[in-house]
Amino acid sequence: MLKEIALHRSVRHFLSREIAPEVLTDILQAATHASTVGNMQLYSIIVTIDSRVRAELSVGSLDESAAMEAPVLLIFCADVHRFSKWCRQRDTKPEYENLMWYAHATADALRAAENAALQAESYGLGICFIDTVLRSADRLVELLDLPQGVLPTAVLALGHPAEEPPLSDRLPMEAIVHYDRYNRITSAEIDELWAERETSTQTMELLNRYGVENLARIFTEYRYPAAENLNSSKRYLATLREQGFLDDKE
Amino acid sequence: MLKEIALHRSVRHFLSREIAPEVLTDILQAATHASTVGNMQLYSIIVTIDSRVRAELSVGSLDESAAMEAPVLLIFCADVHRFSKWCRQRDTKPEYENLMWYAHATADALRAAENAALQAESYGLGICFIDTVLRSADRLVELLDLPQGVLPTAVLALGHPAEEPPLSDRLPMEAIVHYDRYNRITSAEIDELWAERETSTQTMELLNRYGVENLARIFTEYRYPAAENLNSSKRYLATLREQGFLDDKE
């Protein structure tokens, strides 16, 4: 397996050392080599060290230290704005501000982001995707001055690692991979497939830290509680609409 | 730059030769090494050679030959179903069937898909992302028997390449990369940044083939015309709702 893929882990503590400009350029170039829908390149990357962006992404985040310490953050945005502007300038009418093209543009942004992550890791840098990007989408629109047709979809923190965390424990491949059609998992299979994760050292540490009796509760009650999910999702929907991806035609 | 990233291109014609099982396993394993939100692994991969799936993805697609010829298709789905079922089985209440978690799960699926693509390319296989996946989401839900909380977000065709197409021409990196905040592109910059693509050999061939006077029109009038975009996006929104990602609370 490609070394960068095999050894990928999320790094959340970084040295203060800067990333060499030519290395950053190469990482950004690698991002642009990813497939994009129709070769339309419906994404943008914002390179930032803005402390307000860091602070926004950090609030209540598992990745707080990554957002604060990384010498640079890359904000990957779904972007139909640039392409649409080009179309209008060429006297033809674009129609990409809608939900399906938000999803296409998001796919472009994520493929580019994953390329950037692996390229960074090939230089020995550490990376972390910062998941609060969606919860903070409305604030990031303001802070980064994103026009209609642009929405942040992934944030990559990168820098020289100050730690070497273990690889994440994963479910067995059988939990993820289906053949021919979707295999509706049974209760017995749930128990079987989760058994290893539920008894791993990482899980035992978490149960102790949170003082709960099972791993699922850490997710539903502490990390991503129901009320917060619903509230954040409502705000996300409103931001999607404000940015023009869910307009009156839908 | 990583060789697989530097040399990535979309391959749309494949030999009939099968992919060795251990190679396919390695590709699927590589997918599972990608970062996922909170290590929740909110995605599934369906390995299929179903001719109805191929036919559905092919209709009016630029990637028709890839969908038909590839010895295997990997369907990457955003999936909160499995995780939610696990939570319920552990006597706690999940709340992930909403728009924000659709976006999180989509991100998981796309990062996994890009890993799979690069891993496949490291074995000398050719890959193509098939963009009709979104337009066909409702039909794929039926054909693959996807439960609530699952939606297809990327399709990867892969196989031994029967062609070596040129790398795609891309906009200069300055079109994609912004510093500190979003740079609203000017009309002069549009002309400048698109100049090379608009006069490339690939573009000249396209203009001849479609018989139109500029590249933008190929996109807006032939490849992704407005009426079709709006129609497909409406269907996509309905599918998103049916699959439980936009419920009554929103």
> CB–CB of A185 and B82 under 8 A?
yes
The whole-number pLDDT of residue A47 equals: 98
pLDDT at B53: 98
The interface residues of chain A toward chain B in range 149-188, judged by CB-CB distance below 8 A, are 150, 153-154, 167-171, 173, 175-182, 184-185, 187
Instruction: With CA atoms as reference, report the closest residue to B52 among B155, B139, B152.
Output: B139
As beta bridge partners, residue A10 has A127
Res. A78: pLDDT tops 90: yes
* Mean pLDDT, residues B89-97 taken together: 96
Q: Does B107 touch chain A (CB under 8 A)?
A: yes
Interface test with A, best of B92, B155, B167, B240 (most A CBs within 10 A): B92
Report the percentage of chain B scoring pLDDT > 90.
95
Lowest mean pLDDT among A47-51, A120-124, A165-169, B52-56: A165-169
Q: Given an 8 Å threshold on Cβ–Cβ distance, is B107 in contact with A103?
A: no
Q: Are B160 and B84 in contact (CB under 8 A)?
A: no
pLDDT score, position B3: 96
Domain map (residue ranges) of chain A:
3-166
Chains A, B: CB contacts under 8 A, how many? 337
The sign of the torsion formed by the CA atoms of A214, A215, A219, A223 equals positive
Confidence at A41, pLDDT banded by 50, 70, 90? very high
Report d(CA B85, CA B87) in Å as an integer. Answer: 5
Where residue A250 falls among pLDDT bands split at 50, 70, 90? very low
- The answer to whether residues A181 and B143 touch, using CB atoms and an 8 Å cutoff, is yes
How many Cα atoms within 13 Å fall on the side-chain side of residue A34?
A: 34
Yes or no, beta carbons of A103 and B232 under 8 Å apart: no
Q: What is the pLDDT of residue B250?
A: 46
Which among B124, B17, B130 has a CA at the least distance from the CA of B65?
B130
B-chain residues within 8 Å CB-CB of A3? none
Of the partner residues B167, B190, B237, the one whose CB lies closest to the CB of residue A86: B190
| pLDDT, average across residues B128-152 | 97
From B25, which residue of chain A is nearest by alpha-carbon distance? A173
Whether residue A150 is predicted with pLDDT greater than 80 in this model: the reply is: yes
- CB-closest option in A26, A94, A182 to B220: A94
Considering only CB atoms, B129 lies closest to which of A35, A62, A246, namely A35
Phi, then psi, of B88 in degrees rounded to 5: -60, -40
Per-residue pLDDT, B186:
97
Q: Does domain B3-166 bear CATH number 3.40.109.10?
A: yes
Rounded-to-10 torsion of CA A236, A239, A240, A243: -160
The ipTM assigned to this model is: 0.97
Query: Contact A100/B32, CB-based, under 8 Å?
Result: no
Distance, in Å, from the CA atom of B163 to the CA atom of B168, rounded to the nearest integer, reads: 14
Task: Give the DSSP H/E element, type plus range, for residue A115.
Answer: helix A99-122
pLDDT band at A248 (very low <50, low <70, confident <90, very high): low
Site from A41, A72, A110, A231 to mutate, B interface, most B CB atoms within 10 angstroms: A110
pLDDT value at residue B249: 53
What does the pLDDT average to over A143-169?
A: 97
User: What integer best gives the mean pLDDT of chain B?
Assistant: 96
Asked whether the whole model's pTM tops 0.95, one would answer yes
Q: How far apart are CA B169 and CA B202, in angstroms?
A: 8
* CA of B45 vs chain A CAs: smallest distance (Å): 5
Backbone angles phi, psi at B119, to 5 degrees: -65, -40
Instruction: Please enumerate, as own/partner, the contacts of B169-175 that have beta carbons within 8 Å and a separation of 24 or more.
Output: B169/A39, B169/B196, B169/B197, B169/B200, B169/B202, B169/B203, B170/A32, B170/A33, B170/A39, B170/A41, B170/B197, B171/A41, B171/B197, B172/B196, B173/A25, B173/A28, B173/A29, B173/A32, B175/A41, B175/A82
For A104-187, list the strands marked E by DSSP. 126-129, 150-159, 177-179
Is some CB atom of chain A closer than 8 A to the CB atom of B206?
no
How far, in Å, are A10, A65, A166, B81 from residue A163 at the CA level?
Answer: 10, 12, 10, 34
Q: Which residue has the tokens 């799960």?
A: B105
CB atoms B249 and A230 under 8 Å: yes
What gap in Å lies between CA A189 and CA A175, rounded to an integer? Answer: 9
Amino acid at B191: D
Rg from Cα positions in chain A: 20
Interatomic CA distance for residues B125 and B43, integer angstroms: 23
The chain A residue lying nearest B151, using CA atoms, is A182
Centre a 10 Å sphere on the Cβ of residue A62 and count the other Cβ atoms it contains: 17
The chain-wide mean pLDDT, for chain A, equals 96
Query: Residue A68 class from Cβ within 10 Å (0-12 exposed, 13-18 middle, 19+ buried)?
Result: middle
